[in-house]
Amino acid sequence: MGRWEPNARGRLEQAAMELYGERGYEQTTVAEIANRAGLTERTFFRHFADKREVLFWGGGALQELLVSSVADAPESTAPIDAVAAAFEGAGARLQERREHSRQRQAIITANAELRERELIKLASFASALADALRRRGVADTAASLAAEVGIAVFRVAFERWIDTGQPDFPQLIRESFDELKVVTGHGRRRDLDR
């Protein structure tokens, strides 16, 4: 008990993802996860509050990345471009674990409670991004719009990334923000830009 287990967290996460995929999230117990990872339940609870946290622990770090990216953008950067750059950075981070993201999305899609939790997470991202923009002096409504719209564009890019197998997620994010400008009636298509 309490002895150091090499990469316990990673092993627990992998075991959990496998079981959620095989049996469904709801049917999987913490005891089974620990067992599959060759660890104890006690070790599980040193790393995760519950079985849901295995799927959501990365959200806090991602939100911080988004917020600090907006805060660090050059002063002349337009709000929507600061948001786009923040998501490109988040996309680069997520891309390091593409297969994990794909599995995670499938698990979440299959469970109503998890879908709801994921929407809450994205709403929290939007709210944090809007606050970061306001701290840059962006007016209230423009800040909310850029943040909420940014989340919407990111969701669409994420789905394309998972569904199409296109490997470059940051590029997909960039293209989707370009496409946003086309959709709102004013952008130029990327292929015409070159």
Q: In the complex, what is the shortest distance from the CB of residue 149 to a copy of itself, in angstroms, rounded to a whole number? A: 5
Q: In the complex, what is the shortest distance from the CB of residue 152 to a copy of itself, in angstroms, rounded to a whole number? A: 4
Site for a copy of itself contains 186 (CB under 8 A): yes
Site for a copy of itself contains 176 (CB under 8 A): yes
What's the token pair of residue 111? 């469970």
Site for a copy of itself contains 70 (CB under 8 A): no
First and final CA of the chain: distance in angstroms?
61
Query: With contact defined as beta carbons under 8 Å apart, do 87 and 70 qualify?
Result: no
Site for a copy of itself contains 76 (CB under 8 A): no
Number of chain positions touching a copy of itself (CB under 8 A): 35
Nearest by Cα to 58 from 118, 144, 11: 118
Nearest by Cα to 132 from 89, 124, 194: 124
Interface residue with a copy of itself, options 119, 135, 166, 168 (CB under 8 A): 119
Question: What 3-state class would DSSP assign to 49?
Answer: coil
Distance CA 130, CA 191 (A): 31
Q: DSSP letter for 167, please.
A: S
Q: In the complex, what is the shortest distance from the CB of residue 150 to a copy of itself, in angstroms, rounded to a whole number? A: 8
Q: In the complex, what is the shortest distance from the CB of residue 80 to a copy of itself, in angstroms, rounded to a whole number? A: 5
Stretch that binds a copy of itself, among 3-11, 14-22, 23-31, 151-159 (CB under 8 A): 151-159
Q: Write the DSSP string, 119-165.
A: HHHHHHHHHHHHHHHHHTT--HHHHHHHHHHHHHHHHHHHHHHHHH-
Interface residue with a copy of itself, options 62, 92, 128, 145 (CB under 8 A): 145
Site for a copy of itself contains 61 (CB under 8 A): no
| Residues contributing to the site for a copy of itself (CB under 8 A) | 78-81, 115-117, 119-120, 123, 126, 141-142, 144-146, 148-149, 151-153, 155-156, 159-160, 176, 179-187
